[in-house]
Amino acid sequence: MANEKYTATENYQRLLDNNKKFVAERLSEDPTYFDKLALGQSPDFLWIGCSDSRVPANEITGTESGEIFVHRNVANLVDITDMNMLSVLHYSVDVLKVRHIIVCGHYGCGGVLAAMGNSHIGVVNHWISAIKDVYSLNRKELDAITDEHERGRRLVELNVISQVKNLAKIPHVQRAWKERELRIHGWVYGLSDGILHDLDVMHDGMEDIDPIYRFDNL
Ligand code: CO
């Protein structure tokens, strides 16, 4: 958002100025705040969310630095060949031992809406083609929703559910389930009201997934 104090070309300066205020505020509350953070992290949560600038993980969940390990991409996808996502997943599950993985989509997601359409924008179409697969798999339910806005909202939800299922297919997740508790949640954030909706699709064990995806020798 624009700020009258800064010209458009100096707008970035606001971020650096804000940082000085952030440091001063934190230190006034706790002089050891950064010393403690520098010692290490042990977050309970891995967040897989959309890159959309309106869905900042910490801000909307009232959490602080050190509480959520974050991975964001266009339309919060879990592509099991994505080395970036797999590296984040491996580190957070196997090393940091997070207890919960939250896949968080959001209503009005541009990536999801683009996947509903037939325009070729560029390379992003390759990325969001997985959402067309979600649509195709749920075509009967989605095509029955005559209101396009409502259909888009349902596809956002179905996309989150699909990504929760994708996570459960990954051997790292299944191996963790053999050793400890790890819960995968599917949430959707409302841009227009700020509310997080739990879709109640929690996966926390092998029994939650289709047997064809289960590995029995981990
Ligand atoms: Co989005």
Q: Is 104 a catalytic residue?
A: no
How far does residue 89's CA lie from ligand 1's centre (Å)?
A: 20
Q: Which of 17, 30, 44, 54 is catalytic?
A: 54
- Pull the structure tokens for residue 71: 């991975």
pLDDT of residue 116: 96
Q: What is the CATH number of the domain that holds 76?
A: 3.40.1050.10
How far does residue 40's CA lie from ligand 1's centre (Å)?
A: 30
Q: Which of 71, 106, 151, 203 is catalytic?
A: 106
pLDDT of residue 18: 96
By residue range, what is the domain housing residue 14?
Answer: 1-39
**pLDDT level of residue 3 (50, 70, 90 thresholds):** low
Number of domains in the chain: 2
**pLDDT level of residue 5 (50, 70, 90 thresholds):** confident
Reply yes or no on whether the pLDDT at 143 is more than 90: yes
Q: Which of 50, 151, 185, 203 is catalytic?
A: 50
How far does residue 72's CA lie from ligand 1's centre (Å)?
A: 10
How far does residue 71's CA lie from ligand 1's centre (Å)?
A: 13
Same domain, 150 and 204: yes
Reply yes or no on whether the pLDDT at 8 is more than 90: no
Evaluate whether residue 74 is within a structural domain: yes
Same domain, 74 and 168: yes
Q: Is 133 a catalytic residue?
A: no
Q: Which residues hold their Cβ within 5 A of ligand 1, which is an ion?
A: 50, 52, 109
Same domain, 97 and 137: yes
How far does residue 114's CA lie from ligand 1's centre (Å)?
A: 10
Same domain, 20 and 47: no
The per-residue pLDDT for range 150-171, each reduced to its tens digit, is 999 999 999 999 999 999 999 9
How far does residue 119's CA lie from ligand 1's centre (Å)?
A: 17
Query: What is the pTM for the complete model shown?
Result: 0.94
Chain-wide mean pLDDT for the chain? 96
The per-residue pLDDT for range 177-193, each reduced to its tens digit, is 999 999 999 999 999 99
Reply yes or no on whether the pLDDT at 4 is more than 80: no
pLDDT of residue 206: 94
Evaluate whether residue 218 is within a structural domain: no
Same domain, 28 and 133: no
How far does residue 106's CA lie from ligand 1's centre (Å)?
A: 6
Same domain, 130 and 203: yes
Evaluate whether residue 187 is within a structural domain: yes
**pLDDT level of residue 10 (50, 70, 90 thresholds):** confident
Chain length of the chain = 218
The DSSP string of the chain is ---TTS-GGGTTHHHHHHHHHHHHHHHHH-TTHHHHHHH----SEEEEEE--TT--HHHHHT--TTSEEEEEETT----TT-HHHHHHHHIIIIIS--SEEEEEEETT-HHHHHHHS----STHHHHTHHHHHHHHHTHHHHHT---HHHHHHHHHHHHHHHHHHHHHTSHHHHHHHHHS--EEEEEEE-TTT--EEE----B-SGGGS-GGG--S--
Same domain, 72 and 15: no
pLDDT of residue 92: 98
Q: Is 99 a catalytic residue?
A: no
The per-residue pLDDT for range 39-98, each reduced to its tens digit, is 999 999 999 999 999 999 999 999 999 999 999 999 999 999 999 999 999 999 999 999
Reply yes or no on whether the pLDDT at 216 is more than 80: yes
